[in-house]
Amino acid sequence: MVDYSVWDHIEVSDDEDETHPNIDTASLFRWRHQVRRARPSLSPLRGKLRSAALPQPTPLLTLPQSMVNTKPEKAEEDSEEVREQKHKTFVEKYEKQIKHFGMLRRWDDSQKYLSDNVHLVCEETANYLVIWCIDLEVEEKCALMEQVAHQTIVMQFILELAKSLKVDPRACFRQFFTKIKTADRQYMEGFNDELEAFKERVRGRAKLRIEKAMKEYEEEERKKRLGPGGLDPVEVYESLPEELQKCFDVKDVQMLQDAISKMDPTDAKYHMQRCIDSGLWVPNSKASEAKEGEEAGPRDPMLEAVPKTGDEKDVSV
């Protein structure tokens, strides 16, 4: 009953541990923590509604007799921009009322509320309720989603009844409630089956939205954390030998120097250069803190820890 393609558009605190100034905590610990979290905190992402709905009927407080049991007038199909603007205008004006309807539980209460607010009996209300359901599922408010889903299917059944009778939906919503309140088992099973199927589609749409948001979030974070050499500190950390990873985990410079001194010089130089290019290691970070009367050393102490071979005097790059 619902074209779900129209809803396609549907912070983590820093780790502030004390660490050696050469080890860029912001590059390693916070970012690694963010990436390894199962999911970052997501705000509800409301997408643009691209509805294929019929033009919105003029809001009315009461239904004119001339509209009862008459075919709705055909209108030229609006452009996507016009439909979006109509939806936006409708929601801005009636959002509070739509949400009130979405929270009703009893058939009689729903019928009375629509009788008092017949302008809500339209495609725009159904569209808003669908999007609200997806938002609630994204927010993990599952019980509330199921409540609103019930009212979404109520509205959708009314719209489908209007199509089958070829009348304005405001002219037949009472017929729906009469039918549903006296429905036989087969009709109620049909309603409940559609409701369950709709909730599953909402869960699927919410999952896709979260996955899309996650990918966008991770890509944005990856770009933000790229080091001076264009490398990702998280990716570099994951590529380090285990013994070097442990040094960064405990933030022990001496331990790191010892580990490097035991490695093949070429491998040690390769890994340390990648650490620098990713911002995981910051060379000469204490240069500005050198004691009075002393000059900062010309080479990074960690690179100096790389063993030298033959006549090689320095492996720093």
| Beta carbons of 78 and 86 less than 8 angstroms apart | yes
* Secondary-structure breakdown of the chain: helix, strand, coil percentages, each rounded to the nearest 5: 60, 0, 40
3-class DSSP assignment, residue 172: coil
pTM: 0.59
Distance from chain centroid for Cα 186 = 39
Rounded distance between C-alpha atoms, residue 294 and residue 18, angstroms? 25
Q: How far apart are CA 112 and CA 125, in angstroms?
A: 16
Cβ–Cβ contacts within 10 Å for residue 20, how many? 17
One-character DSSP codes across 274-286: HHHHHTSB-TTTT
Domain annotation for the chain: domains and CATH numbers = 83-212 (1.20.58.610), 233-278 (no CATH)
Per-residue model confidence as pLDDT tens digits over 59-82: 323 333 444 444 555 556 678 888
Model confidence at 208, pLDDT cuts 50, 70, 90, reads very high
DSSP 22: T
CA angle 12, 14, 20 (to 5 degrees): 155
Residue 150, pLDDT score: 97
Backbone angles phi, psi at 301, to 5 degrees: -60, -30
pLDDT digits (tens, 9 = 90+) for 237-276: 999 999 999 999 998 889 999 999 999 999 999 999 999 9
pLDDT digits over 170-195, tens only? 999 999 999 999 888 888 999 999 99
Q: What 8-state DSSP symbol labels residue 15? A: P
